[in-house]
Structure formats: structure tokens, C-alpha cells
Amino acid sequence: MRLIILAPPGGGKGTQASRLSDQYNIPQVETGKILRQAVQEGSQLGKDAKSYMSSGNLVPDEIMIEIIRNRFAEADCQAGFILDGFPRTLQQARALDKLLDEQEVELDAVIYLNVPVAVIQERLSRRRVCSDCGATYHLDTKPPGQTGICDSCQGELIQRSDDREEAIEQRLKQYSSKTEPLLEFYQDKGVLLEIDGAQSISRVESAIDTALTESQ
């Protein structure tokens, strides 16, 4: 399976991609996580990306395309992948097409989670993430067993620095100007599967499974 999951910030990409990764035994290639790790490690990539991320802006296309090119060269991506957070601009989408052509493979589907802005603001302000493993929780819809502690690794749960109000607003602006045009791009290719992403996590899961089965 070669999949993309596309949604506004906080639309549930990570939540669904992690499940699909287990279900199809394919790696979840999560660009936001790759960048956050680089920032934490203090690498050159992290230094370059940090200010864009904390202000809610997109990291430049050249950097992102290079990250994906390197990640695709790793062995675990040969049998498939789910891209979570890439592509986010038309330039990234065209670069991805080129990479797939070079490998003589095609995308199976682009899963688009359609979620209204009001729902996104609520989800992001109530999201908590593990400072060690990056697992995602929501204070109401997906709470941890023990307050403030990660179920998987016992790490401390924190709020992401870009889940502040001003950064959320900027992420939404970037999404509508730069990422939304991808919907038409993939619609024209006949691979876009639109899902109502405002439903409960389990209903979104079932809707994705049904849409993927029907598309094959």
C-alpha cells in the first residue's frame, strides 16, 4: 500500500496513520515528527526548521523534498508507506510524483479527512503529546490512563509549542493557501478518498476502511 493522509492541522492524520501503519504493516512517514526530532537533537535540520515550525509556517519545500527522498531510500519504504504531513504544497506533490515515477510505483489512495475549523481548534487546544515517544492523546476523546503520563512509555505528556492560539491560526492559513490546492490535484488523478473527519475516532477508522476496500 502506498498511501497519503491529508487533513488540516489537528485533523487526525497522526491518529489514523499510526493505525493504518499497523494494519498494513507499512511505515508511517510523519514529516512533523521527523522535524520535531531534529529540533530536539539540535541538528542542522532542526536549527533550520525550528522558527518556521513554532510560528506555524511551512518549512521550505527544498528541505522537505530532500527529507522524503532520503527516507524513501530506506529499505522499509520499498514495500509501501503512509505519508503523514507530506506533501503540503503543489511543489512537494510534483516532486513526490517524480520520486514515484523513478521507482516505477503508483499511489493507491490519498485519504482526505475533512474537518471543520471549529473542531480543529478544540482538538488542538485539548491535545497532549508524549515528550519521549510522541504518542498523541486528547484530554476528552483519548485520555491517558494516568493523568499527564504516557500509556506506552510512561513519559511526561506536554502541549506542543505550535498548539498555541496564534500558531494554530497561522497553521490554518498556511493549510488553506498552500495545502488545500492538493485536493483538486489528487481529485484529478482519481485517487482522492474524502472522509468525514469530524466523526469519532472509531467511525473515522471504519469510514477509511470502507473507502479503501471500495477503491481497490
The residues carrying an active-site annotation are: 13, 88, 127, 160, 171
Q: Does 213 bind ligand AP5 (CB under 6 A)?
A: no
| Nearest-angstrom CA–CA distance, 216 and 204 | 19
Among 4, 59, 93, 212, binds ligand AP5 (CB under 6 A): 59
Please answer whether residues 182 and 87 qualify as being in contact, where contact means their C-beta atoms are separated by less than 8 angstroms: yes
Please compute, for residue 119, the number of CA atoms within 13 A of its CA located in the half-sphere on the CB side: 15
| Nine-digit cell string for 119 | 473542531
Helix (H) or strand (E) holding 153: none
- Specify the residue, 15 or 21, whose C-beta has the smaller distance to ligand AP5: 15
Q: Does 86 bind ligand AP5 (CB under 6 A)?
A: yes
Among 96, 150, 204, 208, binds ligand AP5 (CB under 6 A): 204
| Nearest-angstrom CA–CA distance, 102 and 99 | 5
| Nearest-angstrom CA–CA distance, 25 and 139 | 29
Site size toward ligand AP5 (CB under 6 A) is: 35
Q: Does 207 bind ligand AP5 (CB under 6 A)?
A: no
- Residue ranges binding ligand AP5 (CB under 6 A): 7, 9-15, 31-32, 35, 52-53, 56-59, 64, 85-86, 88, 92, 123, 127, 136-138, 141-142, 162, 171, 199-201, 204
